[in-house]
Amino acid sequence: MASSIYDDDIVLWSEQQAEIIRRLGATRRDLPNELDVENVAEEIESVGRSETAAVESFLRLLLLHVIKIASAPEAEAAPHWYDEAEHFGTEAFTRFAPSMAQRIDLDMLWRLAVRQAGTSLGRHGQRLPNLPKSCPYSIEELVREALDVEGLRTKLPAPPSAK
């Protein structure tokens, strides 16, 4: 059975279906008056937005854990952070749709992850290294079946105490 756009890219599918419903609502007079075309279209579009938000959340959590690993590689929690990074990367990969690439703001997710990591590590007397202001990774590096957490970590500066 051939895959459909629904299977390949839920975001694009939801946008296309919502547009078709809106077009039908605007051009077809034989539709029942009870059919709430605009809200039905909006609900279908929300499927794609929800999936994108889920992937963004997994990517932010992946970045957060990579930052923690790079900032405190000797921490007792470091093995757990590696496991969590792998988990969040897998979740992002399995839910990612190609049309999300241009919708996801990696720099914003990076800033949020850096802020959260700084707060979390600061509670334990640790500091962040001098991290880049924008996300040093491409979407392709983060959303892949064989995620290389160690490779992601090595792209970041060493922690302040290691210098």
**How many residues are recorded in the chain?**
163
Backbone angles phi, psi at 130, to 5 degrees: -75, 90
Higher per-residue confidence, 127 vs 110: 110
**In the prediction, which pLDDT does 147 show?**
96
- Ramachandran category for residue 10: left, alpha or beta (phi over 0 → left; psi -120 to 50 → alpha): alpha
Question: 47-93, pLDDT tens digit by residue?
Answer: 999 999 999 999 999 999 999 999 999 999 999 999 999 999 999 99
Q: Residue 73 domain-assigned?
A: yes
Residue 76 lies in a domain: yes
Dihedral angle over CA of 43, 40, 42, 12, nearest 10: 80
Top-confidence residue, 37 or 90: 90
The region of weakest confidence among 25-34, 68-77, 124-133, 138-147 is 25-34
The answer to the question of residue 62 being in a domain is: yes
What's the pTM value of the predicted model, to 2 decimals?
Answer: 0.89
CATH number, domain containing residue 148 = 1.20.1220.20
Does the residue 132 lie in any domain? yes
In whole angstroms, what is the distance from residue 147 CA to residue 29 CA?
A: 51
> In this structure, is residue 146 part of a structural domain?
yes
Answer yes or no: is 23 within a domain: no
Q: What is the pLDDT of residue 1?
A: 52
Q: How far is CA 66 from the centre of its chain?
A: 14
Contact between 61 and 84 (Cβ < 8 Å)? yes
Residue of higher predicted confidence among 95 and 160: 95
Does residue 162 have a pLDDT over 60?
no
**26: confidence class by pLDDT, cuts 50, 70, 90:** confident
Q: How many domains does the chain have?
A: 1
Give the chain's mean pLDDT.
Answer: 92
Residue 32 domain-assigned?
no
User: Domain range for residue 120?
Assistant: 49-162
CA angle (27 as vertex; 24, 32 as ends), nearest 5? 65
In-domain check, residue 103: yes
